[in-house]
Amino acid sequence: MEATPRAPQPNEPLHLRFAIFNPKTGQQVKDFQITHDKLYHLFVVSQDLSEFQHIHPNFQSDGSFTVETLLPRAGLYKIYSDFYPSDGTPQVLQQHLATAGYKPDLVGAAPRLVADTTFVKTVDGLKVALKLEPEALIAGQPVTLKYHLTDARTGEPVRDLVPYLGAMGHTLILSEDQADYVHSHPEEEIAPNADKAKVRGGPDVSFNAFLPRPGNYRIWTQFQRGDHLTTVSFTIHAEPLR
């Protein structure tokens, strides 16, 4: 990963470039498989889990990927690169990027997540209700995230979701220490031969997930209506298996 500038200023343009190399041969990898409509999924998350970006670098003729973004606040960010080399396997690599003015404080800046007690939020005029099954989450056991979407103004069920990355939604889950990464897409699949320009979904969208360790997790789920992408977040807690 190359960042220009190397220590970006908060809220100022940042250019990121990524090149992938085979760890055995040292040769640059230039052939990738598309996963969920993109060659490269990039997640940028602040150390305290308050800032979240899901963006998609562009493939360049030299085999690298580049993207323009900005980091809204001073601090330490973790960069998750999610890609699939044609001769390898799907994988996620993690790196850190600190802004100018960041003073290392791994303890003081650590997230202090508190699990939500209500799972209904309104964002961008979209009322999002989340139901967990099972309701009592146990680490190491599957969980289903069931979303029900209504229009906050009319109260009517939302049935005009359009495909986002080839599906009716997208979810990323991170553990509080950012060690565990869960990337999930809906149970409701879109037929491979469907005309995505005409496909519509909602009001119910479900995701399957697996929380490997006890503790708090932050969920970011994205839905698209028309040209607008909405991101809603929840915090959940997984109990140890007894």
Radius of gyration of the chain (CA): 19
Percent of the chain past pLDDT 90, that is, above it, reads 88
For residue 132, count CB atoms less than 10 angstroms from its CB and return exposed for 0-12, middle for 13-18, buried for 19 or more: middle
State mean pLDDT over 62-86. Answer: 96
User: Which homologous superfamily is 2-98 in?
Assistant: Immunoglobulins (2.60.40.10)
pLDDT band, very low/low/confident/very high, at 174 (cuts 50, 70, 90): very high
- The more confident residue out of 104 and 32 is 32
The reported pLDDT for the residue numbered 67 is 98
User: Are 2-98 and 120-238 the same fold in CATH?
Assistant: yes
Q: Which CATH number fits domain 120-238: 2.60.40.3340, 3.30.70.330, 2.60.40.420, 3.40.50.300?
A: 2.60.40.3340
Q: Is the pLDDT of residue 88 over 70?
A: yes
Reported as a single tens digit per residue, the pLDDT across 202-219 is 999 999 999 999 999 999
Contact 130, 204 (CB under 8 A): no
CA distances from 35 to 84, 94, 186, 196, 219 (A): 7, 18, 14, 16, 21
- The more confident residue out of 112 and 90 is 90
Reported as a single tens digit per residue, the pLDDT across 2-29 is 999 999 999 999 999 999 999 999 999 9
Q: Which long-range contacts (CB under 8 A, 24 or more apart) does 88-93 make?
A: 88/29, 90/35, 92/181, 92/183
pLDDT band, very low/low/confident/very high, at 197 (cuts 50, 70, 90): confident
Domain limits, the chain:
2-98, 120-238
pTM of the full structure: 0.94
CA distances from 63 to 29, 32, 81, 85 (A): 7, 9, 15, 11
Q: Which residue shows structure tokens 């360790």?
A: 213
Mean pLDDT of the chain: 95
